[in-house]
Structure 1
């Protein structure tokens, strides 16, 4: 019995021990998982340009702090070649370290020519190392370096001998162009593009032997209006002093901050001082291919990936990825204020990526390289981009559909899927996907395809309808000649107008629009129209406004997130404010018109909207975005026609001259603003008063 109890106790002890160990292990794993979670969110951009959270794109991986056991002292630049060798330039060590694809040390480049190496660039056969202090480019044999571990200097390219970079001769009225090279890229022809500090003309372009060719890709200097005005009052000495002061403030000038090149020879630049359009993509002629809203201020490094996707990093620690057209794919990262959170950056100065789409960001303050690993979500996007760019549209479509399973709100996936459908001539599905992403240009292209197919299938029907209409028109003319159909129609309309004043006043719209000056006189002096009819016109305007939101092509009238009831309320509110404000202002400014006159005349002045907007709605459903000029023309006619009628409504109804009318319009608009603010304050205070009253009533009831 005793042995049995001891055996049971032993088993119980073992079970408890195992449970405790398992519990500790589980806790440890959870803690480890929590510690390795990304310390940042990932964002993308929706079709409206707003940043929204999305599936994680990159996770922080290893940190590289040394090469071959030697810690980095002051790493300046990082470069990854086509074979995934990593070149790290350390200025304090006068060394360029080389790591392999697994980030293991391979070799290093040191040379007597090095004084302050600042950056490198690697081609198929050569390694270019730029020295900041000596202002020289040292070109080494890449094959000897990687194969035989031999540092073989091929040539040294010094300061260009072109006169512009030389000191001016005595009596020559010019300044020496500063040559302070920092970064470089080399195209397939061997031409060298140098990013130099304080180079207002952009990149310095040299041929393969170092001869100056031209400047390239400079940012236009936009002088603020205040500076221009101030320069009018400065003497030449003061203006020269101000110019030198601005030149010393490099961060305020649009000097290029970094440069990159892709496989096709397009040059990419980034400018940290620019708020708008800091990232540019140039062809050989210097034309920028990117839109004007790409990037943010403080971007200081750029890299082009294997899918022509563009990576950029800002001094605030944020990392950006764009597609080849400049659309934002991902934004992640951030500033490390706690000195130790893996994935956040302190002073990022250089970015690169390898063939595995791993991102390498050099953090100079911490003397390390932070590696980021792409997630399956990101790999799927890159694969879809690659499939699409190589012409495998069906495969790319499958990839985009897979991506949407990760994140159904990822607009770029919908756009990519729409592009794939377009290549397959599946216009209906393409239109649907573009619509999900609210991509107007894509929807327009898809709609053009839908229209073409419809015309192809229904061309005979269209011609038949046209022929029938022509026949009916000719038949009407013949019958009218023998039976007087036009006169009969006019008699019927005349009888209806005699029986119904409202019907008569509604048809008066056409007479009013033909002769508006007589119309205003009739409204004011002859009491030609009633408040009832004017109210019907206002209701019809509201109905047309609703129809516009309901039936106009969403290429031209956005419908996502639009509350028609709220929009209609705003329209009624504005018209009501106008009628009241204009009457009040004119009443105290010797205006002759009554409130009824203002109410009726305003209604009839807005009637061009009733005539043209329905036509615009129809037009919007048969044209594409590229033909938007026809749609815009309709609104232009509405604006000019209505503005003309409103102006002369005030002038004739109240009997003002032109200058008085302009002044009355300004005062009416100001009164509308004051009344609007007053009503807004009343609404806010009434809400608070109701809350206070409810609290008092509740307190009384409870007591």
Structure 2
């Protein structure tokens, strides 16, 4: 036992030493986009610079791997270096014979090698695509695109090919620098076929409204809403083109696109968030001082639908599965071994990943750890239909990283295939997988109903019969009359009655009045005009009851936040903030009451501050009545049935807003038109007060920071 313990401690220390030796941290993002720690997926195997490669590199821009060779585009030296898989230099392509004369590249930026061994080079400054054998023998060159159709090629278009891929039919897809119309498509003969896959633009609502009201002169001076250009291309075995979008003005979810031959984006974005790199930035670690979202410079597809993208902003590699779920992250910015200063390209060599650094002129070779290998194996087994083996691989990954949500989901899918629905639901919950949890819930619910159908039907019949007898015999009538007499409430009339006891006084009297006023909230919800009139003139409500209603609303909101069914509840249950729950209810409520009272006092409103408070609190009763039942029901419905939940809660919200409107009208004795504009002014006043309040607290914070800095400076100099 002691020997085993010593071995275990030694292994832990060795793993810790390896983790500490890496210059970058591994992490991931959970369902709420929070950064969580993760095991290292890839570690640095070797770094290949000019000395290791036996050739001086200058601004290398691309790399391509075939079954036999590794092609390195040494842009600064206008050449291509060809290595075998052991990094031994096979040959160099720096010049070639073209029409009887020697020709050279001029600032080549991209290359592609077809399965047949045909090499395509995007020769940028020569405005051409060079086609040659992988040994360097020239075949032909394709020049600038031409079209007989006017308008297909934009006016002032300048052809500067930067990246290229070729499909199995020989069609070439080219990125031209400075082109915003999409990817240029050429047939196998080099004839231009048009543009495909232009990145979409989505101006925000403010830009759209402003563009409709400005003059033509102002509109001409504004920046154009241009789609951003692509930065790189990669074509997978199925002929789909992975493309990375450069720039920051495009829709963030389109950072990576997967285009079919017609140019339609078919990339799956079914993870917790789209494949956009860092979700929260800056990350508290290496590269934390670098601001802005990730910008991908290259992408490479791998086996089983996995693909990896290289972030030019922070030098990190993000790997996703076929559904767009983040699997792991590694790398970082810097010049240490394992870091990247100028990310330029990424390629896969078996399970290894090659990252090209243009600034440091070197290639970093990363190899997978057992953690990454288990992830890859789990995905491979799942796609092969070997679900038990996939679950076993996922369990092994959890031994390395308990934060990997995809592992829980993978185990859940395996259990789902085995008809172990309850266990699958638990794993889907651990993996925050609401879509598959909903499927398991539907199957589990059906299983429970089928297995217990006789018992359920017997219970329903007994309940119906009991309800029928309860209505017919009314055994509760004496108790009901006693309660009505005790609290002085006649349910058949608006008018209150006297208490049955003459000696009621003190706190007992206040308690009974409050309970009666609380019960009257239901009447107000169903008969708003009579109810609000009685609240004001018959004193059927009181401040204590209205405050209790507010407390109940806070409680039911918090209850709903914590206990709404998993399928419909996106909240992190570990982060309940009761002060925030109170603020969500009380801040808008108090703002409404204060601003409404202030404005209606100026506009001849008849309501006092207390009457507005009471009427508004009573108006929120539908939310209280609906929150608890719908929270309970939500635990038994699936995503397909969620519309029922949302419709009921929406009806309650509209009902409450209608009561606020009617209460405002009755309390102030306004007509409908005056109530409408007074409500609009109240909402505008609430926004103004909120803005002033935020500005005030911001100034207080700045003053506090200034005073603290002055105090630190004085104490330091003393």
| TM-score normalised per structure 1 | 0.79
**Partner in structure 2 of residue 639 of structure 1:** 653
**Partner in structure 2 of residue 108 of structure 1:** 92
Residues 152/202 of structure 1: CA separation in 2 closer, same or farther (3 Å cut) = same
**Partner in structure 2 of residue 378 of structure 1:** 372
Query: Matches of 2:568 and 2:371 in 1, distance apart?
Result: 33
Query: Matches of 2:185 and 2:93 in 1, distance apart?
Result: 25
Bigger mean CA offset, 671-680 vs 177-186: 671-680
Q: Match of 1:523, SS?
A: helix
Structure 1 contact 278–299 (Cα < 8 Å) conserved = yes
From 342, 354, 363, the counterpart of 1:347: 342
Cα offset, 1:402, TM superposition: 0.9
Structure 2 contact 591–686 (Cα < 8 Å) conserved = no
Residues 473/497 of structure 1: CA separation in 2 closer, same or farther (3 Å cut) = closer
Residues 394/678 of structure 1: CA separation in 2 closer, same or farther (3 Å cut) = same
Residues 565/231 of structure 1: CA separation in 2 closer, same or farther (3 Å cut) = closer
Query: Matches of 1:373 and 1:112 in 2, distance apart?
Result: 39
RMSD: 3.8
Structure 2 contact 595–682 (Cα < 8 Å) conserved = no
Matches within 5 A, 1:5-84: 37-66=21-50, 69-81=54-66, 83=67
Query: Matches of 2:370 and 2:548 in 1, distance apart?
Result: 60
Q: What do residues 41-72 of structure 1 show as CA deviations (whole Å, max 9, x unaligned)?
A: 12211111223332222222322224863222
Q: Match of 1:198, SS?
A: coil
Note if 1:419 corresponds to 2:413: yes
Query: Matches of 2:626 and 2:573 in 1, distance apart?
Result: 24
From 312, 317, 320, the counterpart of 1:319: 317
Q: Match of 1:71, SS?
A: coil
Query: Matches of 2:577 and 2:19 in 1, distance apart?
Result: 48
Residues 672/420 of structure 1: CA separation in 2 closer, same or farther (3 Å cut) = farther
Cα offset, 1:89, TM superposition: 1.4
**Partner in structure 2 of residue 299 of structure 1:** 296
Query: Matches of 2:579 and 2:31 in 1, distance apart?
Result: 23
Structure 2: gaps spanning 5 or more residues: 1-13, 99-103, 277-292, 489-511, 706-718
From 553, 574, 597, the counterpart of 1:561: 574
**Partner in structure 2 of residue 281 of structure 1:** 258
Residues 331/681 of structure 1: CA separation in 2 closer, same or farther (3 Å cut) = closer
Cα offset, 1:539, TM superposition: 4.3
Query: Matches of 1:35 and 1:314 in 2, distance apart?
Result: 22
Cα offset, 1:675, TM superposition: 10
Aligned length: 625
Q: Match of 1:391, SS?
A: coil
Q: What do residues 548-589 of structure 1 show as CA deviations (whole Å, max 9, x unaligned)?
A: 245321322325223263355335643466556655665566
From 220, 234, 240, the counterpart of 1:266: 240
Q: Match of 2:303, SS?
A: coil
Structure 1 contact 497–504 (Cα < 8 Å) conserved = no
Q: Match of 1:561, SS?
A: helix
Query: Matches of 1:579 and 1:74 in 2, distance apart?
Result: 66
Note if 1:195 corresponds to 2:175: yes
Note if 1:137 corresponds to 2:129: yes
Cα offset, 1:334, TM superposition: 2.8
Residues 683/216 of structure 1: CA separation in 2 closer, same or farther (3 Å cut) = closer
Cα offset, 1:525, TM superposition: 0.7
Q: Match of 2:298, SS?
A: strand
Structure 2 contact 295–311 (Cα < 8 Å) conserved = yes
Structure 2 contact 421–444 (Cα < 8 Å) conserved = yes
Structure 1 contact 57–377 (Cα < 8 Å) conserved = yes
Note if 1:529 corresponds to 2:541: yes
Query: Matches of 1:673 and 1:507 in 2, distance apart?
Result: 34
Structure 1 contact 651–658 (Cα < 8 Å) conserved = yes
Structure 1 contact 45–329 (Cα < 8 Å) conserved = no
**Partner in structure 1 of residue 682 of structure 2:** 665
Note if 1:163 corresponds to 2:154: no
Residues 235/253 of structure 1: CA separation in 2 closer, same or farther (3 Å cut) = same
Structure 1 contact 165–178 (Cα < 8 Å) conserved = no
Q: Match of 2:636, SS?
A: coil
Q: Match of 1:162, SS?
A: coil
Bigger mean CA offset, 659-668 vs 313-322: 659-668
Q: What do residues 96-141 of structure 1 show as CA deviations (whole Å, max 9, x unaligned)?
A: 2222222222233452354233322122212322222333333344
Query: Matches of 2:645 and 2:188 in 1, distance apart?
Result: 54
Cα offset, 1:679, TM superposition: 11
Q: Match of 1:512, SS?
A: helix
Note if 1:126 corresponds to 2:98: no
Query: Matches of 2:676 and 2:298 in 1, distance apart?
Result: 57
Query: Matches of 1:618 and 1:601 in 2, distance apart?
Result: 29
Cα offset, 1:471, TM superposition: 4.6
Query: Matches of 2:152 and 2:416 in 1, distance apart?
Result: 59
Note if 1:437 corresponds to 2:454: no
Matches within 5 A, 1:686-697: none
Query: Matches of 1:615 and 1:34 in 2, distance apart?
Result: 54
Matches within 5 A, 1:597-676: 597-656=611-670, 657-659=674-676, 661-662=678-679, 665-666=682-683, 669=686, 673=690
Matches within 5 A, 1:495-534: 495-501=482-488, 502=512, 504-534=516-546
**Partner in structure 2 of residue 547 of structure 1:** 559
Residues 469/190 of structure 1: CA separation in 2 closer, same or farther (3 Å cut) = farther
Query: Matches of 1:491 and 1:671 in 2, distance apart?
Result: 55
**Partner in structure 2 of residue 22 of structure 1:** none
Cα offset, 1:658, TM superposition: 1.7
Q: Match of 2:248, SS?
A: coil
Cα offset, 1:311, TM superposition: 1.7
Residues 94/510 of structure 1: CA separation in 2 closer, same or farther (3 Å cut) = closer
Cα offset, 1:504, TM superposition: 4.6
Structure 2 contact 599–682 (Cα < 8 Å) conserved = no
Residues 606/73 of structure 1: CA separation in 2 closer, same or farther (3 Å cut) = closer
Structure 1 contact 167–176 (Cα < 8 Å) conserved = no
Residues 615/676 of structure 1: CA separation in 2 closer, same or farther (3 Å cut) = farther
Q: What do residues 189-245 of structure 1 show as CA deviations (whole Å, max 9, x unaligned)?
A: 332221222222211122222233332211124567659649954559x94x988xx
Structure 1 contact 647–661 (Cα < 8 Å) conserved = no
Residues 588/307 of structure 1: CA separation in 2 closer, same or farther (3 Å cut) = same
Q: Match of 1:208, SS?
A: coil
Q: What do residues 321-373 of structure 1 show as CA deviations (whole Å, max 9, x unaligned)?
A: 2222222223333332xxx4112222221111111x22211111222212222
Q: Match of 1:373, SS?
A: strand
**Partner in structure 1 of residue 356 of structure 2:** 362
Bigger mean CA offset, 343-352 vs 542-551: 542-551
Q: Match of 1:330, SS?
A: strand
Q: What do residues 453-493 of structure 1 show as CA deviations (whole Å, max 9, x unaligned)?
A: 2233233444444444555566667xx4xxxx46x866753
Residues 674/428 of structure 1: CA separation in 2 closer, same or farther (3 Å cut) = same
Residues 213/54 of structure 1: CA separation in 2 closer, same or farther (3 Å cut) = same
Structure 1 contact 358–372 (Cα < 8 Å) conserved = yes
Query: Matches of 1:347 and 1:280 in 2, distance apart?
Result: 23
